[in-house]
Chains A and B, each alone.
Chain A
Amino acid sequence: MTNSQFPFDISLTDVYKTYPLGLWKKKEAVCGVSFAVPRGEVVGLLGPNGSGKSTILKMTLGFIRPTAGEILVCGHAPSERQSRSFVGYLPENPRFQKFLTAREVLRYYGALCRLERSALSKRVDELLELVALTDAGNERIAGFSKGMVQRLAMAQALLARPRILLFDEPMSGLDPLGRMELRQLIARIHDEMPEATIFFSSHVLSDVEQLCASVVLLSKGKLKSFSRIDELLGARTEAYELTVRGVPEGHQADWGKRLRHSPLGETWTVDGTEDLLEALNDLKGLGAQVVGVFSQRTSLEQKLFGRVSNPDPDQPETEVTR
């Protein structure tokens, strides 16, 4: 099958993975998971520890074989060498040979991707610039910080301009600044390579919320949902919290209700955009000072917690809304 005939870059069909635990016991790490990642999308793979996220990524790369089911990467089985020519991979804890310089690492991995020598030198320079390591290009990795190693690993994943980027917990172990830099880098990669599919697992839900168009949610090896992130979170304008100062005591408003008093001021809740505008006009008339307006959008964390714990037995276990 040619790649143009295949609409999905990654597809899993009824995939199972069972690990032996000793002689008799077995553990089902992945249990009948099916989904397909469309070309050019940024898709997050979410779930608690032990939900099978890393197992799915490793099966997609051919590191481990599924016990049952089928995985296709651009129409090829992961065990085929050709499938990996479409993929750039960033592992959770990237390790390089510490005696090599950043430039040597990229040349080595570029050679493994069968890039031509002249094209490789140019590509290495481009990537070092992209990941802001040009100045450290000739330094040994032994002296690199975790953030620098992570950025270098990102560069090696991009070497062959892959169609699919697989990131396993890319923000893991990074400080807030490092996380922000990497998040910006992923966003930049997506802007520069809009046709590339980015499929990554993460525990950092805010990163997923900011970067992903869709989310695959796993729990105990099973697919809980695969939906677009805006559908998962609901409309952005459900309700607002207004923090204001100087509202006369006992003031009754038909646009909302008083919630609590805080050192910043009084907090009111308002339903919908129209009520918000009315409230702002009313408050202006009263001479009150608006300290802040916050969207009361349900966080991804709250939504996911609800789905993973699945308290409603009548609720279907798997929900695919894509």
Chain B
Amino acid sequence: MIALRVAWITMRELISERVFYLLLTFAVLALGFSLLLGQLTYAEQAKITLDFLLAAVEISMVLFSIFMGIGLFKRELLLGSVAMVLSKPISRSSFLVGKYLGQVAIQFAVMFCMLLVTLAIQSNFEGNSSALSVIQAVGLIFLEVLVLTAMAYFFAVNAGTITAAIVTLCLFAVGHMRESIVYHYNISISRSWIWPVIMSLIPDLEIFNMKTIASYGYTLDGTQLFWAVSYSFCCAVFFLFVACVCFANKDIAT
């Protein structure tokens, strides 16, 4: 209940932020730009437009999850507003989980709007994609955002604002290239225990990438979806749990 109260205030805080509207404008522009780019091509207009639209949704939401998450949390610490909250009989974990849930709820609402826009644009093109494949693709991006937001909070607790943002962005990139890196490691680097350990700690974000196949109208079956949802929740809970443990043991010099 306490976490939900914090989540409610976080949601209100997010929608009162100037950065939120900046990122929202970026998302709208990215969607508009995707539509424009699709118009420039002659062949496979529907596919290219949808590819760009889904990429726009992903980039917008990744920026949103990293910068809003870290910024919001760090500002509470720097300004000292966290002191009055934590002086109440609540656990630090409730505060952190509440912040996370509030941000995720807003991200869900924004993504839902972007999904509607994408579906509306997609319905104007005659292509191979279906509404279900688009919904699945955006849904998977949301699952990825759940993991990234938890990672952003983990690094926000343990590092400075800029470091946390850079490391989370790097892990987002590495998470998408994980398979390639593992493959490259197997063929060119001498074996040692450290690399497998490091790679196993980095979530495989390619699991949530069906942007390319969505434009061909492919959809995931129940097992694949269940695996993606389970993987996302496990990763998010893991990062959030470690963030809570670190935050609970951290000195808060407000």
**Chain A residues with a Cβ under 8 A of chain B:** 58, 61-65, 81-82, 84-85, 87-89, 91-100, 108-109, 111-114, 153, 156, 166
Interchain CB contact under 8 A, A63 and B13: no
- Report the nearest A residue to B98, measured CB to CB: A112
Which residues from A are CB-within-8-Å of B80? 91-95
Which residues from B are CB-within-8-Å of A89? 83-84, 87
Which residues from A are CB-within-8-Å of B79? 95
Interchain CB contact under 8 A, A91 and B90: no
Interchain CB contact under 8 A, A84 and B88: yes
Instruction: Give the complex CA separation of A50 and B160 in angstroms.
Output: 24
Return 30 A-B CB contacts under 8 Å, by A number: A58-B253, A58-B254, A61-B83, A61-B87, A63-B252, A63-B254, A64-B251, A64-B252, A81-B90, A82-B89, A84-B88, A84-B89, A85-B89, A88-B87, A91-B254, A93-B80, A94-B84, A95-B84, A97-B9, A97-B81, A98-B16, A99-B13, A99-B16, A108-B5, A109-B85, A109-B88, A112-B5, A113-B89, A114-B89, A153-B84
Which residues from B are CB-within-8-Å of A85? 89
Which residues from A are CB-within-8-Å of B252? 58, 63-64
Shortest beta-carbon distance from B68 to chain A in Å: 15
Which residues from A are CB-within-8-Å of B251? 63-65
Most buried by A among B2, B6, B83: B83
- Report the nearest B residue to A92, measured CB to CB: B80
Most buried by A among B2, B85, B87: B87
- Report the nearest A residue to B13, measured CB to CB: A97
Shortest beta-carbon distance from B75 to chain A in Å: 9
**Chain B residues with a Cβ under 8 A of chain A:** 2, 5-6, 9, 12-13, 16, 79-81, 83-91, 251-254
Interchain CB contact under 8 A, B12 and A97: yes
Which residues from A are CB-within-8-Å of B83? 61, 63, 89, 91
Most buried by B among A63, A82, A153: A63
Which residues from B are CB-within-8-Å of A111? 2, 5
Instruction: Give the complex CA separation of A82 and B79 in angstroms.
Output: 26
